[in-house]
Amino acid sequence: MLPLWAGAIPAGVAYGVAARAVGIGALDAQFMSLTVFAAAGQITAVSLIGSDSALVATFITVMAVNAQIPLLGIAAVRQLHPTRFQKLQLSLLLTDGAFGIAAAREPLRHYVLVGAGLSMYLGWNLGTALGLTAGGAAGNPATSGLDFVVPLSFLAVLVPLIRDRSAVAAVLVASLTAITVLQIAPVGVAVLAAGVIGSATGVAVSRRSERSAA
């Protein structure tokens, strides 16, 4: 189980450092890792709380960033046909990282998935504690530049998702939309607008390239 720990700890450290960099209390940040347990979503929350976004916009954006979680659940149920008790375990521990590792070895097994999830949970929380300690010791984040961990964490999640032209189009259009909308609206609105328009662009481009390939 050591490799799984190794994967979750750096992500947890980045989150912990990022949380301290935007001034979130250590207890709040650790509490979030213990209860939310979703890397990209939590770093998004940290970023938006740091930019003083409206709470509703923060909530909606974090849920949208976590949008792949239901898809993982659907995939897990189709392959595993879990009992109700097994579903309960997965409802606490299912993450994309754990699913990716467990699904790498066919066929997918429930105990492997739960084991991977549990291992990730421990690594994520340990990493958070380490990051909070390190981030707290580093002094003023605005001058130390430690807040740069936030966009780098997003980038680390984003890059592996870019697999084709439609994804590149979605990234470009979302970025442009965000910058444009930000001129007239708060951060939360700009992010959500970029989410809607960027995803629509991704779908449109993937349909077009499918049609031209057919």
Partner 1 sequence: MTHPLVVVALALGTLGLRVSGLMLGDVRIPAAWERAWRYVPLALLSALIVISLTGRETSEVTIRAIALVVAAIITYKARRLWLCIAAGMIVYYLLRSAT
Per CB under 8 A, which of residues 152..211 are in contact with partner 1? 152-162, 166-167, 170-175, 177-179, 182, 187, 190-191, 194-203, 206
Site track 108-147 with partner 1 (rule: CB under 8 A), x = hit: -------------------------------------x--
Task: Check if the beta carbon of residue 194 is closer than 8 Å to that of residue 174.
Answer: yes
Closest to partner 1 by CB, 49 or 102: 49
Tell me which amino acid residue 200 is.
Answer: A
Q: Quickly tell me which residue has 């609206």 as its tokens.
A: 185
Q: Quickly tell me which residue has 């979130």 as its tokens.
A: 24
Torsion of CA 173, 179, 180, 184, to 10 degrees: 150
What is d(CA 127, CA 153) in angstroms, rounded to the nearest whole number?
14
Judged by CB under 8 A, the chain residues 31 through 50 that form the site for partner 1 are 31-32, 35-38, 40-42, 44-45, 47, 49
- Give the shortest CB-206-to-partner 1 separation in angstroms: 7
Task: Check if the beta carbon of residue 29 is closer than 8 Å to that of residue 146.
Answer: no
What is d(CA 109, CA 103) in angstroms, rounded to the nearest whole number?
8
Site track 47-86 with partner 1 (rule: CB under 8 A), x = hit: x-x-x---x--xx-xxxxxxxxxxxxxx-xxx---x----
- Give the shortest CB-80-to-partner 1 separation in angstroms: 9
